[in-house]
Amino acid sequence: MNFTRTTAPVSHSRRARLLAIASALCLAAFEPVPAQDIVVRKGAGTRATIEWTGFATQGTGQTVAEVAQADLNRSGWFRVVPTPGAEYRVVGEARDDGGALRAQCTVYETASGRAVLRRTYSGTPAQVRAVAHRMADDIVEAVTGRKGFASAKLVVVGNRTGFKELYVCDSDGHNLIQLTHDRSISLYPRWGGRNEYITYTAYLRNNPAAYRIHVATGQRDLLAGFAGLNMSPVLSPDGRSCALVMSREGNPELYVQTPPGGAATRITRTLQAAEATPTWSPDGSQICFVSDLAGRPQLFVVSRQGGAPRRLTTRGVENVSPNWGPDGRIVYATRVGSQYRLCVLDPTTGQTTPVGPEDASYEDPSWAPNARHVACTRVAGYRASICLIDTVTGETVTLVSGSGDWYAPDWTR
């Protein structure tokens, strides 16, 4: 079957507002200096102490030190200490000299005295937080060999205007920018296509339709706006296909469009069931999704070519909102009483592990690029905020809260 590609009727003013956001999202242009990286692998769950006592700052450079230290504490790998004698030592400076921000850091392993990272950064004072995040990620990677997530960004849904709109923010919740101004209902944003796009569901016309925003230009395309339901569009890892749920043939089913917005292939055929929230495997060969084929919503997996879906979750009355991580594990929300708790599933073994706290309802998880931290919606007392959970230690911090409710975070990867 062939579906026609359509372009959304985006007004000029709407596009202009999206464009203004796009420039603010552009990352700083750095001049990284190749370092003689000596990779020291630390075990997850243990934190190395790192001292930041030999780091000179001037002007906005002070922010570099503060933000990078907070990033290191949030990374799960380090504990920043104020006194000498730590396992690692950061020496360097960050200066804001008349409109140009320059920073430089060297990280020493105290025991051996060796430098494990030596790097310089430059940018404008407005990019001070981006410089700090980059420095923190470089330190994490130099010491642990693992990717950091300080430079990653989140897209979230917020309702502080009285309407659910999309917002983008940094990994620490700062630089919160409103992306859409549609006064409609915007839902389930997902980054895709090497973080060039955000796909989401919105009621811009009459019924829920699937859209794709090109972040750099602010251009928005309608991916699917057929009668009935069009929702949960998610781009494949290569950005060339889009999984989504549509009801145009009379029942909500999972489809794959290639290219996004183009011809769609139906993947499921469940006349007595509803599908939702597809998520792609890292290699793009499989799609995990929610279906209530077995009565209550559970996780299934299917080849992107179609075929018989395989049920992944058998325990728990209700398992929803899967997010397939870069290391192949799936994080999802399982119902416990009247709340949700996060679980991690290894689809190769079928083993599931509960993660994070149980003091509130934790929903809509999204893996950070390090495949260790998860951002999710935390609902407590009927208020929703965005929090970050370290799935190794269970440590949880709030990223975005207040001024209304915040939902459905998704990380750039």
| Range 308-367, binding other proteins (CB under 8 A) | 318, 320-321, 333, 338, 363-364
Q: Which residues pair with 49 in a beta bridge?
A: 79
Residue 174 found at the interface with other proteins (CB under 8 A):
no
The answer to whether 365 touches 333, Cβ cutoff 8 Å, is: yes
Q: Assess 199 for contact with other proteins (CB under 8 A).
A: no
Among 188, 197, 255, 406, binds other proteins (CB under 8 A): 188
* Total Cβ atoms within 10 A of residue 69: 19
Residue 271 Cβ vs other proteins, minimum distance, rounded to whole Å: 4
CB of 3 to other proteins, least distance (A): 9
- Please name the residues in contact with 392: beta carbons below 8 A apart, sequence gap of 6 or more: 44, 45, 76, 372
Residue with Cβ nearer other proteins (1 or 111): 1
Minimum separation from the CB atom of position 331 to other proteins (A): 14
Nearer to other proteins, 84 or 295 (CB): 295
Applying CB under 8 A, which part among 30-38, 40-48, 53-61, 226-234 lies near other proteins? 226-234
Residues 143-172 that bind other proteins (CB under 8 A): 164
Residue from 205, 310, 311, 383 touching other proteins (CB under 8 A): that is 205
Given the complex with other proteins, which of 206 and 349 has the nearer CB atom? 206
Using the rule CB under 8 A, give the single segment among 22-30, 61-69, 250-258, 306-314 that binds other proteins: 250-258
Tell me: does residue 370 bind other proteins (CB under 8 A).
Answer: no
Nearer to other proteins, 130 or 254 (CB): 254
Q: Could you tell me which stretch among 19-27, 32-40, 243-251, 256-264 binds other proteins (CB under 8 A)? A: 243-251
**Site of interaction with other proteins (CB under 8 A):** 4, 164, 185, 187-188, 201, 205-208, 225-229, 231-232, 245, 247-253, 269-277, 290, 292, 295-297, 318, 320-321, 333, 338, 363-364, 382, 407-408
